[in-house]
Chains A and B, each alone.
Chain A
Amino acid sequence: MGGDRAPAIRVRELRRTFRVAEREAGLAASVRSLVRRTHRDVEAVAGVSFDVAHGEVVGFLGANGAGKTTTLKMLSGLLHPTSGEVAVLGCTPARREREFLRQITLVMGNRNQLQWDIPAADSFEMNRAIYRIPDAEFRRNRDELVELLEIGDLVRKPVRNLSLGERMKAETAAALLHRPQVLFLDEPTIGLDVTAQKRIRAFLAEYNRRTGASILMTSHYMADVQALCSRVVVIDAGQVLYDGGLRALTTRFAAHQTITVGLPEGAVDLSGYGEVVESTPDGRTSLRVPKAQASAVAARLLAAHRVSDLTIEDPPIEDVIEQVFASRPAPTAPVTR
């Protein structure tokens, strides 16, 4: 996509410093801090650069406090950067121009924007007025979202009576009524059961396909990332650790692979070949071996035993991400806001 068009999101050397009051625990320290407060500058985002092309879905990964939410807030105009450049659809988010705000949306899985005591349909109506969506377009968008998310009967119930999964679907619909071109999703599936997660995931993929919108999303569920994102940006301690394809991330950071062999003769001690992760009585054994040696070990196994089946697998993406973080020195006192 895009060709030589400017990217939908362009971030260069983005920094954000927070000034936090510092005091030690205890009454004496509390009293002391009333008189003289000591401050410390904490760099929540420390020089982040990346682009997101039009129509691209990018996973934004990192541990708690890595600077993900702070970055999303700067991208959606809620926080001013301390320094660096941000352009979203050619606009500077911090100016919070209406033209810009009309084209973006922000969804935060752990905070709801629908009013608690009124039906979602009424909140939709309020958003129609706020975004000044023409009537016909509003009805079309609403009906499409309601159908895709399967929330037909739910939008008439007060939001307080909805389950978490139902509410999140309604939240998502409300956030997309104005057909934004850029979506900032902060943990859009947090706390949902597997079915609801899948539903939201499938929906987001469909929305992206239909509208060509760009999506930047954070999630702790790797299934979200694997299902939706062709590319991931991994940050830690406010800096980009990795920016590229999900597969390439595994290739680069996974030091080990898992070889699973099935032996018809039953359980055999294979610890000579590598670290035994799992061994079942019916003769299936999983071995963790350094990636560079995986094919050689497999060849030796095949030569030495009667093998009914053998697979070589990359580790689960969660483990890879863990590996990425482990390759960095521990961050100092992360702070988010």
Chain B
Amino acid sequence: MGAASRRDAQARDLRALGLVATFLRVGVQTELQYRANVVFSALQSLVAVATSLAVLGLVFSHTDSLGGWSGNELLVVMGVYVLMGGVIRSVVQPNMQQLMADVQHGTLDFVLTKPADGQLLVSARRFQLWQAVDVVLGAVLVVVAVVRLDRPVGVGAVLGFLAALGLGAVTIYSFWLLLTIGAFWIVRVDSLVDLFDGMYQAGRWPVSVYPGWLRIGFTFLVPLAFAITVPAQALTGRASGWLLLGAAAFTAVLFTLTRALWRVGLRHYSGASA
């Protein structure tokens, strides 16, 4: 790989970032027109969080620890759960729903005749700003939990947490995209969102509280462990460097898989393989 092609690759990455930035800006502009939505979103989020806190309080009125996690540690998990849910609803889900609609209506053709990476285009077109209220709320919960933890949290733990959070977001995105592409061959896709939401609910607890078979499922089939539990572990000092490395490797594999399946899907779409 020569310096020239490396420069090319860098230029391409920069352009991709520019594209995402433009999409994000347009998305924000759009959402600002629907200001009433922020009230609803915030209200919805607050009710959901209050309910979860009540459940958490109830559980810890009977016991001091759940699967080895203290109350404040579980608050970290819940914070990450809310935060990641915000990322999913503001970025991942709207784009995947748009992709499904485009395939059904034949408008994916317009995406595929654009001189840009198709996967990037279908993944970054939509942005629902008000759903990102949960990202803020989740972050607040995490900070509150960390303050209440009766031990200092080091810089390393915070960096590990942020890294794990980023990896988790990519993991969830990849999982959603695989689900979306895969669904075209298997079933109708209308209920995909409900299906995912149902499964995502399980992420409010660390995966270690679930029985073995479910834990494996939530780690590798529905990667809730990597998206939620691992970042929480990193912040509460439960994650080893190996675990983070494992999360990075898993994310890389899953992301590579989305690239491959996207290409296969395109070939199928254009009938190159038929």
**A275 CA to B129 CA, complexed, in Å:** 70
**A142 CA to B68 CA, complexed, in Å:** 61
- Scoring A16, A99, A125 by chain B CB atoms within 10 A of each residue's CB, the highest score goes to A125
Decide if B109 touches A78 in the complex (CB within 8 Å). yes
25 CB-based A-B contacts, threshold 8 Å: A18-B271, A76-B109, A77-B112, A78-B112, A78-B269, A80-B270, A80-B271, A98-B115, A101-B115, A102-B115, A104-B113, A108-B109, A111-B109, A111-B110, A113-B110, A118-B29, A122-B29, A126-B22, A126-B26, A128-B22, A129-B18, A129-B23, A130-B116, A131-B114, A132-B15
**A18 CA to B269 CA, complexed, in Å:** 12
Which chain B residues border A128 with CB–CB below 8 Å? 22
CB-nearest residue of chain B to A98: B115
In chain A, positions 57-115 with a C-beta closer than 8 Å to chain B are: 73, 76-80, 94, 96, 98-102, 104-106, 108, 111-113, 115
- B-side residues, CB < 8 A to A, are 15, 18-19, 22-23, 25-26, 29-30, 33, 105-107, 109-110, 112-116, 121, 125, 269-272, 274
A77 CB to closest chain B CB, in angstroms?
7
CB-nearest residue of chain B to A337: B271
Give the interface SS of chain B, mostly helix, strand, loop or mixed.
Answer: helix
Decide if B270 touches A78 in the complex (CB within 8 Å). yes
CB-nearest residue of chain B to A77: B113
CB-nearest residue of chain A to B116: A130
Decide if A126 touches B107 in the complex (CB within 8 Å). no
Which chain A residues border B23 with CB–CB below 8 Å? 126, 129
Give the interface SS of chain A, mostly helix, strand, loop or mixed.
Answer: mixed
CB-nearest residue of chain A to B106: A111
Which chain A residues border B269 with CB–CB below 8 Å? 78
Which chain B residues border A105 with CB–CB below 8 Å? 113
A71 CB to closest chain B CB, in angstroms?
14
A19 at interface by CB-CB < 8 Å: yes
A181 CB to closest chain B CB, in angstroms?
13
Which chain B residues border A4 with CB–CB below 8 Å? none
CB-nearest residue of chain A to B126: A115
Taking A132-B15, A158-B33 as given, write out 18 further A-B residue pairs in contact, using a Cβ cutoff of 8 Å, ordered by the A residue number. Answer: A18-B271, A18-B274, A73-B109, A78-B269, A94-B270, A96-B112, A101-B114, A111-B110, A112-B107, A115-B125, A117-B30, A118-B29, A122-B30, A126-B23, A128-B22, A130-B114, A130-B115, A130-B121
Which chain B residues border A78 with CB–CB below 8 Å? 109, 112-113, 269-270
B237 CB to closest chain A CB, in angstroms?
42
**A128 CA to B113 CA, complexed, in Å:** 15
Which chain A residues border B30 with CB–CB below 8 Å? 117-118, 122
**A67 CA to B269 CA, complexed, in Å:** 18
CB-nearest residue of chain B to A101: B115
A170 CB to closest chain B CB, in angstroms?
14
Which chain A residues border B115 with CB–CB below 8 Å? 98-102, 130-131
- Scoring B25, B33, B274 by chain A CB atoms within 10 A of each residue's CB, the highest score goes to B274
Q: Which of B29, B33, B105 contacts A111 (CB 8 A)?
A: B105
